[in-house]
Amino acid sequence: MPLNETVREAAAEAQRTLRKSGANVKWVEGENLHFTLKFLGDTPVSRVPELLAVGREVANRTAPIQVRVRGLGSFPPQRPPQVIWAGCGEGAEAFAALGRDLDAALTAAELAEPDQRSFMPHLTLGRVRGCGNLSELAECLQQAADLELGAMVVERFLLISSELGRGGPTYTTVESFEVRR
């Protein structure tokens, strides 16, 4: 799910603030920030037409979603942080419903395994690489639990191919699915 510039800039500012904790975190590059609806893993090219059909089907029954990106936190809950994220306030339930719908459609088409955890819309900001300064990071996250990053309208979602390289992932848009108006 692509971000608008307001949310992207606010997320980058949040990353700069969290860096001050001194924790060893691999931060997601600004151009790579996005919401993930479903991670598919390695998918044969021969299945791409089916993925496109499912994406169109889900988009055609989805209305635009107003989302407020709000609050920073980490996974797993109640344990040392591994993934640093920005969450959703207003619109989170409609956004989560889109994620569940896509998961169910991909599962029904035998294109993906069903998610074992309930879908929680989040924007990954970084992944913790070491155990130093985690209490400082946790304190920064607690202070930013209600941070407002901005609003956006989900009017489309993307099928993205990801190639891991030395400098991190390279994302290529395969298809953009416009939701119904």
Is 109 annotated as catalytic?
Answer: no
Total number of domains in the chain: 1
Looking at residue 78, its pLDDT comes to: 78
What does the pLDDT read at residue 170?
85
Catalytic residue list contains 22: no
Secondary structure (DSSP) of 65-125: EEEEEEEEEEESTTS--SEEEEEE-TTHHHHHHHHHHHHHHHHHTTSSPPPSS-----EEE
Give the CATH number of the domain where residue 109 resides.
Answer: 3.90.1140.10
Give the domain extent around 128.
5-178
Q: Which listed residue (19, 34, 68, 127) is catalytic?
A: 34
**Three-class DSSP category at 30:** helix
The pLDDT value given to residue 49: 97
Of the residues 122, 123, 126, 150, which is catalytic?
A: 122
The pLDDT score that the predictor gives to residue 2 is 85
CB atoms within 10 A of CB 90: 14
**pLDDT averages per 10-residue partition of the chain, 181 residues:** 93 95 94 91 93 97 96 88 94 95 96 88 93 90 94 95 83 93 70
Q: What is the pLDDT of residue 53?
A: 98
